[in-house]
A and B are shown apart, each in its own frame.
Chain A
Amino acid sequence: MIRVLATPFDPWSAIAEHQVAMQRDGEYGACATFVGTMRDINEGDQVKGMTLEHYPGMTEKHLEKIVVSAREKWQLLDTLLIHRVGDLLPNEPIVLVAVWSAHRKDAFEACRFIMEDLKSQAPFWKKESLSNGDKQAEKNRWVEKNTSGY
């Protein structure tokens, strides 16, 4: 399941609910998860908020493509991918990737693959709202690029 959400979500209850709803009890021996959360500091600056823009249509298609590609490479029972858009505050979850498989190798590797592909290819853009304590210093800036996670 893939969801792009404009409102805050709780990744832990999303995982628990999905695991019940997918009705694969007894089949999965592994569930690997990644949760990305907004920090309040980036490149030495205080970040008080962030806006996540995306390309509606292409974003969903691309996420779907990443999951299909992961399912071709590994033996997966199910996947759950949730990504926030819109206005976020520090400590809010940005992204959740959860992967269920019979054995840990498939779940670990597919979760990593989906997350790294998402970071480097999925059409989302972050704009940070900075505040270093001084009102005059408040400004917005686009995050220029994601660093490779490998």
Chain B
Amino acid sequence: MTQSKNEHSMTIKVLYFASLKEVFGCAEQVINSTGMSTVDDVWRHVSAGCEVQQSVLNAVNQEYAASDTAVKAGDEVAFFPPVTGG
């Protein structure tokens, strides 16, 4: 238990939806939080080497966020294309 708590405290859960899930080839990824202070840091880390041609929206802990929104260990950060519900 202690170990998983420590792991949690060092990581950020990253989620992808819709077409971005296909671009990244996965729905979810856990990354090391070291050096990640904003949403943009996370984005640059996960998208390194990927050609993302579309506009991307972000959420931190299930709330819309801006690229300069702060992130910390234990956060859930999501990236997705413009929404098309309704």
Contact = CB atoms under 8 A, between A and B. Distances in A.
Interface of A: 36, 52-55, 57-58, 61, 83, 94-95, 115, 118-127, 142-146
Given A53-B18, A55-B78, A55-B80, A124 B85 contact: yes
Contacts of B43: none
Interface of B: 15, 17-19, 59, 62-64, 78, 80-86
B59 A55 contact: yes
Contacts of B78: 55, 58
Contact of A124 (B15, B62, B64, B86): B86
Contacts, number: 71
A36 B63 CA distance: 25
B17 A144 contact: no
B82 A144 contact: yes
A55 B19 contact: no
9 contacts: A58-B62, A94-B86, A118-B85, A119-B86, A120-B83, A121-B83, A123-B80, A125-B81, A146-B83
